[in-house]
């Protein structure tokens, strides 16, 4: 069985409230389509976070359709298996599954119930995808432990699999031992799952959720183009795009080949060419700007020299920054025609101890960049240990009432 494993597409992502990434996704999907055409995999697996938000706009859904219809047209023999991640609306993805299935696109949005009926196996057919070349147990993002459910699915496959075909499972979660560097992401993920709870009986566990590509237990091989491991691989393909400015490492999709159940797993990285890169100015990590003029000058040079990319600034804490600084930056990059893109979250250097409050509060830019409400809840809980959720709820209700009263005053 040969398949391409990817995850965390985040189609429709808008960065820094300003910048749509459609052309970056277009660029990725044209590479993916080419790889599928060239390598002729039996299946393409997308392990969750297809969309960036739960209710993507019409044009985003249209992009999704365009990408996958092109893939189907180019590779009519290939099965596509898409599961929901925590960013997706499980029920919305699930709702369209029947029509996609006619084109060999299998969508699994809703997770299995935590207490499956004992007298019937029928529910399993939503999660076991039987391909000519092997089996795929397609699990979407799940909250709460489902280890019995997962093992029941794997046992069912084991009983059926008399020909010894490869068995692949998909999931969207943080497993313990994953390297989450570059990820400032905490939610749903406050909890990690012991990989043992994902059962036994698969050759390859195709995971999504962590954007850094990695095979659990083999961190040292992280960016090697070709590796071979014994059966039972647990791997994050990583996201195809840099989803945040902290993910400047190389991104790829994984081309995986497994000859039969229990055989070695052959992994080949297909490296994604990025349309736009992420930068910090000054580019020398030991330097920071001492004044707004210095920063503006460097931004002008960046527009002139690089012509394209996302950047954020590193500025000395004691530099005098005018109140319209952000507007000056936006003016300075205007001529790039939206090619040069500004992340207004400044990296401050030389912050005196008494002013270090980043652990206690959110900056406005932090809040603007949280697309998942659960991310806010999780980060709040992380930062304010011992916080009473009931207190928080009351405060939100007070704010809500005040906002309402303000509206009525108008
Ligand atoms: Mn995710």
CATH of the domain at 27: 3.60.21.10
Within-domain flag for 387:
no
DSSP state letters, 29-75 = HHHHHHHHHHH--SEEEEES--BSSSS--HHHHHHHHHHHHHHHHH-
Say yes or no to pLDDT of 383 above 60: yes
Q: What angle do CA 197, 202, 203 make, to 5 degrees?
A: 130
- Would you say residue 32 lies in a domain? yes
User: With 0-12 CB in 10 A as exposed, 13-18 as middle and 19+ as buried, what is 165?
Assistant: buried
The phi, psi pair for 257, rounded to 5°, reads: -135, 130
Question: Angle of helix 292-305 relative to helix 325-333, nearest 10 degrees?
Answer: 20
User: Ligand 1: distance of its center to the CA of 172 in Å?
Assistant: 7
The two tokens of residue 368 are: 């603007």
Alpha carbon of 391 to ligand 1 centroid (Å):
28
Query: CA angle 369-387-346, nearest 5°?
Result: 30
Same domain membership, residue 266 and residue 286: no
The DSSP line for 187-204 is SS-SS-B-GGGG-S--SE
* Cα 208 to middle of ligand 1, angstroms: 7
Owning domain of residue 178: 2-271
- 152: CA distance to ligand 1 center in Å? 25
Report the separation in Å between the CA atom of 45 and the middle of ligand 1, taken as the mean of its atom positions.
15
Query: 157 with 297, same domain?
Result: no
What residues are neighbours of ligand 1 (ion), with CB under 5 Å?
49, 85-86, 209
pLDDT in tens, 117-176: 778 888 999 999 999 999 999 999 998 778 889 999 999 999 999 999 999 999 999 888
Q: Which of 94, 103, 11, 9 is nearest to 59 (CA)?
A: 11
Residue 168 lies in a domain: yes
Residue 375 per-residue DSSP state: H
Structure confidence by residue, pLDDT tens digits, 201-230: 999 999 999 999 999 999 888 889 999 999
- Counting the structural domains of the chain, the total is 2
Say what the pTM is. Answer: 0.86
Ligand 1 centre and the CA of 159: distance in Å?
32
- Residue 53 forms part of a structural domain: yes
Residues 214 and 199 in one domain: yes
Residues 221, 364 within the same domain:
no
CA of 400 to the centre of ligand 1 (A): 29
pLDDT value, residue 186: 46
User: Ligand 1 centre from 9 Cα, in Å?
Assistant: 9
């Amino acid at each position: 069985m040969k398949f391409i494993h990817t995850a965390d597409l985040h189609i429709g992502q808008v960065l820094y409230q300003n910048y749509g990434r459609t052309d970056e996704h277009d660029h990725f999907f044209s590479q993916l389509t080419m790889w599928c055409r060239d390598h002729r995999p039996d299946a393409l697996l997308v392990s969750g976070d297809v969309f960036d938000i739960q209710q993507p706009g019409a044009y985003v859904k249209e992009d999704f359709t365009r990408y996958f219809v092109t893939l189907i047209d180019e590779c009519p023999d290939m099965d596509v298996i898409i599961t929901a991640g925590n960013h997706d609306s499980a029920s919305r993805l699930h709702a369209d599954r029947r029509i996609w299935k006619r084109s060999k696109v299998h969508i699994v949005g809703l997770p299995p119930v935590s207490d499956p009926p004992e007298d019937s196996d029928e529910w399993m057919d939503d999660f076991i995808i039987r391909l000519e070349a092997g089996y795929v147990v397609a699990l979407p993002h799940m909250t709460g432990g489902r280890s019995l459910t997962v093992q029941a699915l794997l046992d069912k496959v084991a009983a059926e699999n008399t020909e010894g075909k490869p068995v692949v499972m998909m999931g969207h979660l943080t497993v313990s031992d994953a390297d989450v560097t570059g990820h400032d992401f905490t939610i749903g993920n406050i909890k990690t799952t012991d990989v043992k709870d994902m059962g036994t009986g698969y050759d390859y566990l195709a995971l999504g959720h962590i954007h850094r590509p990695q095979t659990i237990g083999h961190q040292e091989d992280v960016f090697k183009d070709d590796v071979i491991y014994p059966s039972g691989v647990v791997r994050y393909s990583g996201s195809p795009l840099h989803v945040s400015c902290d993910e400047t490492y190389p991104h790829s999709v994984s081309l995986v080949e497994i000859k039969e159940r229990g055989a070695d797993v052959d992994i080949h990285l297909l490296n994604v060419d990025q349309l736009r890169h992420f930068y910090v100015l000054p580019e020398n990590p030991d330097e920071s700007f001492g004044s707004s003029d210095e920063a503006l000058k460097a931004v002008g040079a960046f527009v002139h020299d690089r012509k394209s990319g996302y950047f954020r600034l590193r500025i000395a804490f004691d530099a005098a920054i005018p109140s319209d600084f952000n507007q000056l930056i936006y003016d300075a990059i205007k001529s790039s025609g939206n090619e040069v893109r500004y992340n207004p979250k400044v990296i401050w250097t030389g912050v005196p101890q008494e002013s270090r409050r980043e652990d206690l509060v959110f900056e406005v830019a932090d809040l603007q960049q949280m697309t998942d409400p659960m991310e806010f809840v999780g980060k709040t809980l992380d930062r304010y240990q011992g916080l009473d959720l009931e207190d928080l709820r009351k405060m939100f209700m007070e704010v809500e009432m005040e906002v309402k009263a303000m509206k009525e005053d108008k």
